[in-house]
Structure 1
Amino acid sequence: MTMGLQLRIGLFKKLDYKLLLKHFAGWVIFIIYEVSFARFSIGAFAPLQNYICYYGLNVLLFYFNAHVVLPFAIKSGRSYFVIPVMMILELFIYLVLKYAIDTVLAFSIDKIPSQTVYIKTLLLPNIYRGISFLGCSSLYLAILRVLMFRNRVHNTETIQLKTLKEKAELERNLAEAMNAYLQQQISPHLLFNTLTFIHNTYYKQSREASQCVLLLVDIMRFSLDEVSISGKTNLAKEIAQIQNFIELNQLRFDYELYIDFQVAGDMESAQIIPLILLTLTENIFKHGYMKKKEGEAKLHITINAQNELRFASWNLKKHQPEKKRLRSIGIKNVIKRLDYSYQHHYKLNIRDEEDSFGVELMMQL
């Protein structure tokens, strides 16, 4: 789209009342100045219809040249030739219309001048008048084009700055994620071997403790497993670790925790970034109170045929100091990872009430 066409479109789309008022005020000031100057020069005012006709013609010439003729000439690709020709044609039409107006207004007062007198006395002033309005109109268009160019440059720079900011934010998040990942790599094999040794050593003395160790090893191994190129893992594996985590906590508290855990849908074919659902589940056990049957925690995970996942949890709160609750960064990290991987394809609603806490996550996998 050429700049001339943009100007014409802008004339209709972007011209608001404030801009129209500014143009109107400018013309009023200009006309008052000229009429006042003429009044002090010749000592009289012309009839009102003269001002309406002459200034109407001048205003028409001004905007027709700026928004029709010049944009068309620039678009033609041969503006150096087309612009002078068309402006001469404009000036000729202007002189013809001016002569017609002069004749009509003179006829109304029975003072029609001869063509010879008209040419000698009025032709050069009319030519000068037409050229001055064409020049002002061309300057007006040039200013519009400069302002449009500056606006375009400003918008481009704004977009570039926004892109750079987003890139810097992504790089910072990536650096934080890499740092967190490296912190988790402290001799994982040593840790697994140690936990296996504890399991084998105390299996006969306490089967519950040994079972806890095995569940913990399975969860930790899942958290350190390499994912696919897309950064995702099988949803069924994530659900399995949630089941392990629930079982681990039930063993810790002698199965005295009340939680309604339900899973529905085809989990085998779906992919998800790992540890999202597991972190939200951990939040239930970390901050929730589940030792009352009437305050049973809820954890429902479903996926439909359109691959839309719904994670919904609710639990009563433990009585904890406010500072301790504020130190929890699990959900904050979940939000960062969701923003990075799913952007506008998820909705996370958190209901943090005085005695209870609920999370609902809807996402398109």
Structure 2
Amino acid sequence: MINLISLKFTEQTIKAVVIQTSFWILFIVYELLAVYYHIGSLEGPLIYIVYYAINITLFYACLNLLSYTLEGTRVNYFKGVAAYFALLIFFLIIKAIADHLLGNPQPATNDPYIYIKQFLPRNLTRAVYFTLLAIFYCSAKYVTQYKRKALEAEKRQLIVEKNNAALEAQLSKSRNAYLQQQINPHMLFNALNFVYNSTQKYSDDAAQCIWLLSEIMRFSLEEADQDGKIKLGREVEQIDNLIAINRYRFKEPLHLNLQRAGDFASYKIIPLILLTLTENVFKHGNLTEVNSPAVLKLTVDENGLLTFYSRNLKKSKNEHPRIRKAVGLQNIRLRLDAFYRSGYQLKIDDPGDFYELTLTLQL
């Protein structure tokens, strides 16, 4: 749209002038051809120049009036309507003057209002016609601007979400890499191998415990796939190793009801989540009571929904372990948020002497 109030001849404005001038030339040619086809003749060039100049001026005046009314800080339709009627009256007066100077027939002495009677309906029709053109043009402009802004906003949102996802993935990888690189793996496993061989001479149980520990350490230092995940079956294997280690550690028998069901080989998960939750059962739970055994259930259904449930008798109150447990769970939540967003639910119940935890995760 050409702003008649503050016209600035920028490159974009010049382009708009060329496009709209071309449109008006085609529009005038079309109307003149239609008049010539129905009447068979045309008036003099001066008449068409004057009348089209008045009509086109009305079009741009309506366009600027619509923009002023709609783009203001407060939309005031009453003022807009009042201004339009004033503009319409002014337009009809200008057309009446043009009709008087250029019109035909000449005024009769017995009817001085012949131009009003003959030309007012035509002038009013043309005013409404060019007003509707301005309304349609303004509507098309606002619809185009709205769609463009909506697409730009959607594009910006997608870029932000993509950047956030990339940053979260990179942060999770950095955290895992930091944990993995704190100890030199080569040195660690050489030392464990030496301890295993030396201990095996004196105690098979101790040697077996060392071997299980080395398997868990090896797993914790394994590099995940490109998506930051490992095979679920490997994590479940380490749960078995962790349970076996704890059975070696304690002199008293541990009472644990372990239940597993599902196809663990077909799915993947981010590492150390289930292993850490299982470790909390041994670290903070009392598994020595035969009448209150701990419960550990791990299932995967046919839709890939993983459910991890644990229930254990609490140990005696100890503030320090409680703080450490809270930190561990907080780190687990951070990692689950980064990888699974709303695709998981971690629920913790603390009823009386028992502690329950349920993790449901869509793999």
Task: Give TM-score, length-normalised by structure 2.
Answer: 0.59
CA distance in structure 2 between the partners assigned to 1:161 and 1:225 by the alignment: 32
Residue type at the aligned position of 1:175:
S
Q: How does 1:342-353 map to 2 (within 5 A)?
A: 342=340, 345-353=343-351
C-alpha distance in 2, partners of 1:317/1:129? Answer: 84
Change (3 A) 1:237 1:156: closer
Query: Whose Rg is larger?
Result: 2
Matched-pair identity in %: 33
The answer to whether structure 1 residue 360 and structure 2 residue 347 are counterparts is no
1:249 to 246, 251, 254: 246
CA offset digits 1:156-207 (Å, max 9, x no partner): 3233223223322322222222222222xx2333333333333343445444
Q: Structure 2 matches for 1:105-184, cutoff 5 A?
A: 118-128=117-127, 130-132=129-131, 134-136=133-135, 138-183=137-182
State the AA in 2 paired with 1:330: G
Partners of 1:230 and 1:120 in 2: CA distance: 78
SS at match of 1:195: helix
Aligned partner of residue 254 in structure 1, secondary structure: coil
- The 1:282/1:167 distance shift into structure 2, 3 A limit, reads same
Change (3 A) 1:244 1:139: closer
Per mean C-alpha deviation after superposition, the further-off stretch among 310-319 and 335-344 is: 335-344
Amino acid aligned to 1:172 = L
Map of 1:8-23 to 2, 5 A cutoff?
none
**Distance of 1:30 and 1:315 partners within structure 2:** 74
Question: Residue 293 of structure 1: SS of its match in structure 2?
Answer: coil
Alpha-carbon distance in 2 for matches of 1:144, 1:306? 44
Residues 174 and 202 of structure 1: CA distance in aligned 2, closer, same or farther (over 3 Å): closer
- Please tell me whether residue 238 in structure 1 is matched to residue 231 in structure 2: no
Superposed CA offset, 1:4-41 (max 9, x none): xxxxxxxxxxxxxxxxxxxxx96555557788x8xxx9
Code of the aligned partner of 1:162: E
Mind listing any 5+ residue stretches in structure 1 that lack a counterpart? 1-24, 42-113
Secondary structure of 2:291's aligned partner: helix
Structure 2: runs of 5+ lacking an equivalent: 1-74, 90-112
1:240–1:126 Cα change, 3 Å: closer
Return the alpha-carbon distance in structure 2 between the equivalents of residues 255 and 231 of structure 1.
Answer: 39
- In the alignment, the residues of structure 2 paired with residue 300 and residue 248 of structure 1 have an alpha-carbon distance, to the nearest angstrom, of 19
Residue 209 of structure 2 is aligned to residue 209 of structure 1:
no
TM-superposed CA distance for 1:299, in Å, is: 0.4
Q: How does 1:1-365 map to 2 (within 5 A)?
A: 118-128=117-127, 130-132=129-131, 134-136=133-135, 138-183=137-182, 186-226=183-223, 232-268=229-265, 270-322=267-319, 324-328=321-325, 329-342=327-340, 345-353=343-351, 355-365=353-363
CA–CA distance in structure 2, aligned partners of residues 125 and 271 of structure 1: 75
Separation of aligned partners in 2, 1:270 and 1:30: 65
Q: Is the 8 A contact 2:168 2:338 kept in 1?
A: no
Going from structure 1 to structure 2, the CA distance change for 1:147 and 1:343 (only over 3 Å counts) comes to closer
CA distance in 2, matches of 1:276, 1:349: 14
Q: Counterparts of 2:303 and 2:132 in 1: how far apart (Å)?
A: 65
Deviations 1:327-365 (A, max 9, x none): 444334434444455555544333345643322233444
Change (3 A) 1:128 1:297: same
**Mapped partners of 1:276, 1:248: distance in 2:** 18
> CA RMSD of the aligned region, Å?
3.9
Alpha-carbon distance in structure 1 between the residues aligned to 2:195 and 2:213: 12
Conserved in 1, the CA contact under 8 Å of 2:259 and 2:297?
yes
Relative distance call for 1:359 and 1:211 in structure 2 (3 A) is same
Amino acid at match of 2:257: D
Shift of 1:247: 1.9
> Aligned partner of 1:158: which letter?
Q
Quickly say closer, same or farther: Cα 1:355–1:135, change in 2 above 3 A: same
Residue 135 of structure 1 deviates from its aligned partner by: 3.0
User: Secondary structure, in 3 states, of the residue corresponding to 2:251?
Assistant: coil
TM-score, normalised relative to structure 1: 0.59
User: 1:285: how far off?
Assistant: 1.2
How many residues are treated as equivalent by the alignment?
266
- The CA deviation at 1:208 is 3.7
User: What does the per-residue CA deviation read over 1:139-159, in whole Å, with 9 as the maximum and x for residues that have no partner?
Assistant: 354345334433432333233
Letter paired with 2:359 = L
What is the distance in 1 between the residues matched to 2:186 and 2:335?
A: 27
Partner of 2:33: none
Quote the offset at 1:282 in angstroms.
0.7
